[in-house]
Structure 1
């Protein structure tokens, strides 16, 4: 079986199943093998009381003892409770709205109860357990795949089983690397990640594949950088005479750091090979004006410029800022997003295609195949961490000669930036504009939430506005986390009964989000309850309070990003962290936020406290192009993989030269970062 064969070559895959697999992104046998489980269910059979772990699914053989009388909860649910005994310990099983369940049990008989048992001293409690069959008492690890288009775990597992029964995956890593890092073979890794028989085998499989993925990721970055430096095929831009006029027209004075970074960019633009630079600056450090000046110079040289941002809100923000800054210089500025009308899209694409100098500000719409730049001189991506190398490359490939400038407001520790941005030259804006008032940050435990909202109401009474951020859109199953919807209705009935408030989240259409943001900007809406969709791109100087619910669920760098949404005007601003801080590490993290507003210091502390932590909040493997690894969480693996990739690239050894060629070939054939021979 050829791993590059279409998935229809697998026995049992007919037209309907092939269509479902294709819609899920599975086109070839290789795609199927790389469709890794998103999670695993660890089912343990008849563990001792001490071995039972709260968050892991168990099957316990329990003896039914007695039934308690049903009653209704405060929320109107009917609660049925049965008492069991397990190895001398009382087991309390509860079912909601299932009064008929007691008909399945007889006192004195044994039953296999399956679910997550919670320890309460010497007692076990379980909610809505399932009655498992008698032959289900065994330890197993059940893979859970991301399911779409009516696919099931059973279908995917069956197909992968069929493939693995017919092939043996050839090793494609040098033996010295496998030996040096004690890695399992590629064949073992693929088999164990799909069908692990024990926990250690699964962990070793994941470690091997993460290393391989980050090694290949690093190789790609290094090959890109090497190519740019070796092939002098860039555009040598001249310094536009109008640059001086633009600087004099600015309504503010540039900081020393901004001036230094602008000089670095303009020097890059004069060189004969393409610029490939990252501008990294803290929240509010003034990255936008730096990008606009770089774009201005390229436009004045007669070229086209593309600025790609992750959200339509941010695209609109930059578009309006560009119109304001470039006023009086007769610059053609266009906005291209998913919400742009078809007629407007056709008009803008025609301008782009015929080579007319233009500044185009947009979202992912810029990387569509039918957007053809005839004269692209500069590509700028803002909030770089939200675009993977693949997405960046797709825009960059619109012109092989174009300069590349990427920006991020997420402070990355300098030690990590070396590996994370190995394909880029890095400029750091380490100075904030003068006159910025320090944002007062306070932390309240959950039981003191009322204090947070009393501060918010007082600020609204003064004429200010507020943001409230939650980790979820809808209420979670356990009800432990605040969600946008739940909090919106709760606040509407309590603190904000006479105040105009609105919800904002990523599931809304671009038009709905824009309407709410505009109502907030003009002061009609006083408070927005939102997910982290407002993390970037919302600039309202009148907003003076940021309340973050369940703050323990966010990385410190993301909390810092959210805090940066306030303090943008003349008013004293506040960031209020509400957290369920049960342990010292969580409390320490909250204290770091209250004591410091330095993003670089905060990110360093985040690394120390959380290992490497999810500095960008929720993992977005799909956005980065990575299947398993997380470039922040797996920093130590990235560091080793990057060092080995550097050695291979610089080596004259025949084996390493062959490896570079093989990886280059496979990356052209397959965009995923785990390559097969």
Structure 2
């Protein structure tokens, strides 16, 4: 539908500039975008109830005739009421509408309509307040409900949608070629669009939904695979297929079986015909850094360079500290490149890197800078991968010639979401924690018990331990929740003899580093922080964490925060504070309290919050899906992946018959802001 995606929404009948602005707010600036604005739900209008059998205080559907034209009544305060009576031939029903001047022209005396709304009143007199209604001639058994906004009701959108469907060409070109539609039993796009919006039966709706979900998954998978295929297929950096026993001798600890397995799987990839393209998933503290160090050692030992990119300066600095201490004794030259490195120092780093005098460089997005060039880049590692956009995932790899590619994530990702995000990546899971790690005790309390909880924190400080106090906001806002600085004042009053530091995202990198250094060296006993400590701070002596307003975090984020403690040999405790009484919220927090398995928590988080919000607002770089649901449409996803792999294996995506799919790919990925992704 390229032409309709170029047609402004104002071309629709009844859509002026003012209403067009509301459609743009809903993500529908064009007629094509409007047609892809699918209903969020459907109402069943198929079985009207006789008026006398309607259930009081519940939603009912009634088929009735208008007895008399609506009359206008002005009440105190200037509100206008419009009243009328309808009948089904046996009983009457009073209708009242508020401040709707169009009612007299919409409800005609003697005409038949279907009404839907809550019935109130008594056995003798029944009434509906502001019901929805449709003329019998236009009534539908299944009525779409759209994601409305102020000034744009579902009914207005529905009317515009009917007009938009009339603009579809008679011979609408389907982006999915005929042969693929036949192979995967998909209806034509024209049928799907008509019946997703105005289905005449559940069966028609199911056929339309399946087709559109399949298409959305297919377009996403093809886009992700196309990005990954930007790398050459031949392995230009082959390694010997053997476990690095020499590296293991450098370690002050023994590798777990899971770490050994992950290292072996990765080395097997790097010894193969194609470059490695692997995801290492591991719960907090599972030892991904040691796996990364082993692979860096292998690549550098073979005469190549490695690069690791982390999303924050804090995490990049921690990786630099841990990897340089592991690898420099073996003669491996490690450097750190972040945005805060001064210009003169950067120029030196650039020159050393290009000359091959740096073996491993660790950094932030600064690694993507134009001046960064390698002599022979053999391995690219990205950590906390979900925090990078789609374009950034491949940009660093493009600094070399088909390097091996390793993705690391300490955020457990449900299998369904991993399939979506990483498509054809091979996945290694570190499902075994190093020896000595203890389960973190977790408690859920309300603010009335905060003083008692602070006493518990003080007990640990008296024993020489350290702790975190997590506060959700940097500055006060209209919710009235305490800012970090205000909360730190409360903490200092409650812990008058403790040394307290403050850490938040608006601090300059040097300030953050100074606070973290003091905390990690034990100069600070308590760290009052936002979620900036979610990644990057590793202090074995920190054994207690109190999280204020715990309801404001997703389960996976809470799990990441909790993972900052329990990193030493001491028993650790996490205390969640919330005054929210919402049943669903409490159920979510209790699940977290009772569960320590990150993958179980991630699955629950996906089900509760949906894939769009799983990683927080648009951090993951994954295009927003409009109809597909990864928690319930997994089987369709698998079929779409199978189809995408078939297309890519046949190398036919650039053929003329796939032009429509390429257009859909560009349209979907344009929403990620990844301008440098060539599709």
TM-score of the superposition, structure 1-length normalised?
0.67
Tell me the equivalent position of 1:388: 389
Tell me the equivalent position of 2:454: 453
SS of corresponding position for 1:537: coil
Task: State yes or no: 1:646 paired with 2:645.
Answer: no
Contact 2:214/2:637 (CA < 8 Å) preserved in 1?
A: yes
CA positional deviation for 1:501? 2.0
SS of corresponding position for 2:249: helix
Tell me the equivalent position of 1:567: 566
Tell me the equivalent position of 2:224: 221
The 2-side partners of 1:459 and 1:184 are apart by 63
Contact 2:387/2:620 (CA < 8 Å) preserved in 1?
A: yes
Tell me the equivalent position of 1:339: 340
Equivalent residues in 2 for 1:323-402 (5 A)? Answer: 323-356=324-357, 358-402=359-403
CA positional deviation for 1:213? 5.7
Tell me the equivalent position of 1:618: 616
CA positional deviation for 1:562? 1.0
SS of corresponding position for 1:404: strand
Q: Which is greater in Rg?
A: 2
Measured at CA, do residues 351 and 659 of structure 1 come closer, stay the same or move farther in structure 2, by a change above 3 Å? farther
The 1-side partners of 2:482 and 2:246 are apart by 50
Equivalent residues in 2 for 1:226-241 (5 A)? Answer: 231-238=233-240
CA positional deviation for 1:663? 4.8
Moved more, 465-474 or 283-292: 465-474
Residues 586-631 of structure 1: CA distance to partner in whole angstroms, max 9, x if unpaired? 3332232232322122223334x516467745222x5515256699
Tell me the equivalent position of 1:547: 546
The 1-side partners of 2:563 and 2:616 are apart by 19
Task: State yes or no: 1:304 paired with 2:300.
Answer: no
Runs (5+) with no aligned partner, structure 1: 7-28, 41-48, 52-60, 66-83, 88-109, 113-138, 145-165, 193-204
The 1-side partners of 2:513 and 2:80 are apart by 57
Measured at CA, do residues 482 and 289 of structure 1 come closer, stay the same or move farther in structure 2, by a change above 3 Å? same
Tell me the equivalent position of 2:473: 472
Count residues with an aligned counterpart.
543
The 1-side partners of 2:305 and 2:295 are apart by 12
CA positional deviation for 1:287? 0.5
CA positional deviation for 1:503? 2.4
Measured at CA, do residues 625 and 556 of structure 1 come closer, stay the same or move farther in structure 2, by a change above 3 Å? closer
Equivalent residues in 2 for 1:34-53 (5 A)? Answer: none
Tell me the equivalent position of 2:595: 596
The 2-side partners of 1:395 and 1:653 are apart by 25
SS of corresponding position for 1:327: helix
Equivalent residues in 2 for 1:572-587 (5 A)? Answer: 572-587=571-586
Task: State yes or no: 1:278 paired with 2:279.
Answer: yes
The 1-side partners of 2:643 and 2:515 are apart by 52
Measured at CA, do residues 276 and 372 of structure 1 come closer, stay the same or move farther in structure 2, by a change above 3 Å? same
CA positional deviation for 1:672? 1.9
Measured at CA, do residues 653 and 253 of structure 1 come closer, stay the same or move farther in structure 2, by a change above 3 Å? closer
Tell me the equivalent position of 2:439: 438
Residues 415-440 of structure 1: CA distance to partner in whole angstroms, max 9, x if unpaired? 44333322210001111111112211
Equivalent residues in 2 for 1:131-146 (5 A)? Answer: none
Tell me the equivalent position of 2:412: 411
CA positional deviation for 1:216? 2.6
Two-structure CA RMSD over aligned residues (Å) = 5.0
Residues 52-99 of structure 1: CA distance to partner in whole angstroms, max 9, x if unpaired? xxxxxxxxx99888xxxxxxxxxxxxxxxxxx9999xxxxxxxxxxxx
Contact 1:235/1:273 (CA < 8 Å) preserved in 2?
A: no
The 2-side partners of 1:208 and 1:428 are apart by 33
Tell me the equivalent position of 2:51: none
Measured at CA, do residues 355 and 664 of structure 1 come closer, stay the same or move farther in structure 2, by a change above 3 Å? farther
The 2-side partners of 1:336 and 1:298 are apart by 20
TM-score of the superposition, structure 2-length normalised?
0.67
CA positional deviation for 1:327? 3.4
The 1-side partners of 2:414 and 2:668 are apart by 31
Equivalent residues in 2 for 1:95-110 (5 A)? Answer: none
Tell me the equivalent position of 1:490: 490
SS of corresponding position for 1:325: helix
SS of corresponding position for 2:567: coil
Residues 188-217 of structure 1: CA distance to partner in whole angstroms, max 9, x if unpaired? 99xx9xxxxxxxxxxxx9999997665332
The 1-side partners of 2:501 and 2:535 are apart by 18
CA positional deviation for 1:511? 1.5
Tell me the equivalent position of 1:532: 531
SS of corresponding position for 1:377: strand
Measured at CA, do residues 239 and 655 of structure 1 come closer, stay the same or move farther in structure 2, by a change above 3 Å? closer
CA positional deviation for 1:377? 0.2
SS of corresponding position for 1:272: coil
Measured at CA, do residues 278 and 617 of structure 1 come closer, stay the same or move farther in structure 2, by a change above 3 Å? closer
Measured at CA, do residues 143 and 313 of structure 1 come closer, stay the same or move farther in structure 2, by a change above 3 Å? same
CA positional deviation for 1:552? 1.9
CA positional deviation for 1:671? 5.3
CA positional deviation for 1:140? 12
The 1-side partners of 2:375 and 2:591 are apart by 49
The 2-side partners of 1:231 and 1:401 are apart by 8
The 1-side partners of 2:603 and 2:148 are apart by 37
CA positional deviation for 1:282? 0.9
Tell me the equivalent position of 2:670: 672
Measured at CA, do residues 320 and 183 of structure 1 come closer, stay the same or move farther in structure 2, by a change above 3 Å? farther
SS of corresponding position for 2:253: coil
Contact 1:304/1:359 (CA < 8 Å) preserved in 2?
A: yes
The 2-side partners of 1:391 and 1:517 are apart by 28
CA positional deviation for 1:380? 0.4
Contact 2:467/2:544 (CA < 8 Å) preserved in 1?
A: yes
Contact 1:299/1:357 (CA < 8 Å) preserved in 2?
A: no
The 2-side partners of 1:249 and 1:516 are apart by 30
The 1-side partners of 2:247 and 2:308 are apart by 19
Measured at CA, do residues 646 and 425 of structure 1 come closer, stay the same or move farther in structure 2, by a change above 3 Å? same
The 2-side partners of 1:676 and 1:329 are apart by 40
The 2-side partners of 1:587 and 1:361 are apart by 41
SS of corresponding position for 1:249: coil
The 2-side partners of 1:244 and 1:676 are apart by 41
Tell me the equivalent position of 1:9: none
Moved more, 414-423 or 427-436: 414-423
Runs (5+) with no aligned partner, structure 2: 7-28, 41-56, 60-72, 83-97, 101-144, 151-166, 198-207
Contact 1:310/1:387 (CA < 8 Å) preserved in 2?
A: yes
